[in-house]
Amino acid sequence: MTLPRWLPPLLFLLAVAAAAWRAPAPAAPEFSRPPSAAADRAPASFAAAMLPTAAPSAHAATLAELPDGRLAAAWFAGTREGAADVAVWFATLSADGWSQPQAIATREGTSAATLAYVRKIGNPVLYAEGSRLHLWFVSVAIGGWAGSMLNHSVSADGGRTWAPPVRLQTSPFLNISTLVRAQPLPLADGGLGLPVYHEFIAKHGEWLRFSADGRIIDKGRMALERRALQPAVAALDERHALAILRDGGPAPGRIRSATSDDGGRRWTAADALPLPNPNASVALLRLRGGRLLIAGNGASNRNELLLWISDDAGKNWRPAPTVESVADAEAEFSYPALLQARDGRIHLAYTWRRQGIKHAVFNEAWLDGGRP
C-alpha cells in the first residue's frame, strides 16, 4: 500500500510537537531527602546466581525491595525480544531462594485492559512505595520500540495480584515514543519523578513528574548535544540530581550526563563522563553513605560488565571490581539494575547472554577491593 504524500510530513510535525510538548508547570518540586547511613564495616562479600528461567530469552531486569524485606525482580522474556509470546515476569527472593516466575503483564492482557492493539511489550520498571508496588512497562502497536506507549499497573499485595494496566497519556498528540528503563525518584510532595526517554526521530531523555495521586503534572526534556537515551537518575540532595544516559551516537561512545539544580524541573547538559558506553543501558545508584555507583559495559561491546564509584558527587570516577568479562565479543552482560537494600547490601540484576537474568549481591567492602 502506497502512503499519501502528505502523511510522512504530518507524522514528522506531530512527532516534533510531541517531543517539544510539556505539561503546564506546577510549583517547583524538591526531591525527598536521600537516605543516609554510616559506612558499612562488614567484611567483603559477593555472591551471584541465575534467576529461575521463565522462557528461552530474557532481558531488561528491574529490582525493588518489598516492605517485608524480600527482593522483587521483573524482566521480559519469551522466545525472542519482540515475539508475540513475550511477557513481563516477576519473582521474589526470600530466605528460601527465588520463587518461580509468574507472568504479570502479557500482550493479550495489556490489549484487553487498554482497549488497543498490542504487538509487543517490554522494559519493565518496578518501584516500591510503601505498601504499593508500581510496575511501568512499554507496549508497541506498530513498528519498533520507538513507537512505544507507557503503561502502569499497581500491586497492593507484594506482587501476588496486579490491577489491570492503564495506558498513560504522556503527549497530547500521537502519545507514542515514551519509554522507560530506570526507577523513579520520590519527591518531597509525595509524588514521583520518573526518567523516561523519546526515540521517534530524535533520541533524548525526559522527566515525567507525577503528583501524589498519580497524575502526570509536568514533563521536561533532557537536552543533550548528542543522541542519548535511557536516563538513570540519582538525587544528590533535595534540589540537585545527576542523570546518566546511554550514548546513542556514533562510536566511540561515552556515558552522557545531565544535571538538575531545581528538583528535576529543568535539566542541563553536562560533560560526558570519562567512562565508555557502547550504545548500551547504564544504571546509577546513590549509596547511603553518599557515594555514587554506576554499572555499565566496556568500550567496544557488551561482553564485560563493569562498575565505577564516585566519592565526590560524580566529579571523578574510579573503577570497582569487574562483575563479568569474557573474550567472546558476542557474549552479552547488559541492561544492569542496581538497588541498595535496607540492610546495606547492594543488589545487581542484569541480562546474562540473553538466556536469563543473573543476580549478584555484594557490599561496599567488596566494591572497595576487599576479598570475600
Q: In residues, how long is the chain?
A: 372
The yes-or-no verdict on residue 224 having pLDDT over 90 is: no
Q: Which pLDDT belongs to residue 173? A: 67
Across the range 232-261, mean pLDDT stands at 96
Residue located via cell numbers 494496566: 165
Considering only CA atoms, which of 173, 222, 177 is closest in space to residue 195?
Answer: 222
Q: Could you report the per-residue pLDDT of 5-31, keeping only the tens digit for each?
A: 644 454 445 554 544 445 555 666 899
Q: Which pLDDT belongs to residue 49? A: 97
Q: How far is CA 112 from the centre of its chain?
A: 26
At residue 343 the predicted structure's pLDDT band, cuts being 50, 70 and 90, is very high
Distance (Å, whole) CA 90 – CA 153: 13
The yes-or-no verdict on residue 115 having pLDDT over 90 is: yes
Across the range 40-57, mean pLDDT stands at 93
Domain boundaries, the chain: 35-53+274-372
Tell me the DSSP string of 139-157: EESSSSGGG-EEEEEEESS
Q: Could you report the per-residue pLDDT of 122-140, keeping only the tens digit for each?
A: 999 999 999 999 999 999 9
HSE, CB side, 13 Å, CA atoms: give it for residue 116: 19
Mean of all residue pLDDT scores within the chain:
91
Cα→Cα distances 81→32, 84, 119, Å: 36, 9, 12
Among residues of the chain, what percentage have pLDDT more than 90?
Answer: 81
At residue 41 the predicted structure's pLDDT band, cuts being 50, 70 and 90, is confident
Distance (Å, whole) CA 274 – CA 271: 9
At residue 75 the predicted structure's pLDDT band, cuts being 50, 70 and 90, is very high
CB 177 within 8 A of CB 234: no
- Give the three cell numbers for residue 279: 550504545
Across the range 96-109, mean pLDDT stands at 97
Distance (Å, whole) CA 332 – CA 348: 15
**Three-class DSSP category at 19:** helix
3-state secondary structure 91-125: EEEECCEECCCEEEEEHHHHHHHHCCCCCEEEEEE
HSE, CB side, 13 Å, CA atoms: give it for residue 235: 25
The yes-or-no verdict on residue 1 having pLDDT over 50 is: no
Q: Which pLDDT belongs to residue 35? A: 81
Across the range 295-302, mean pLDDT stands at 95
- Give the three cell numbers for residue 45: 562479600
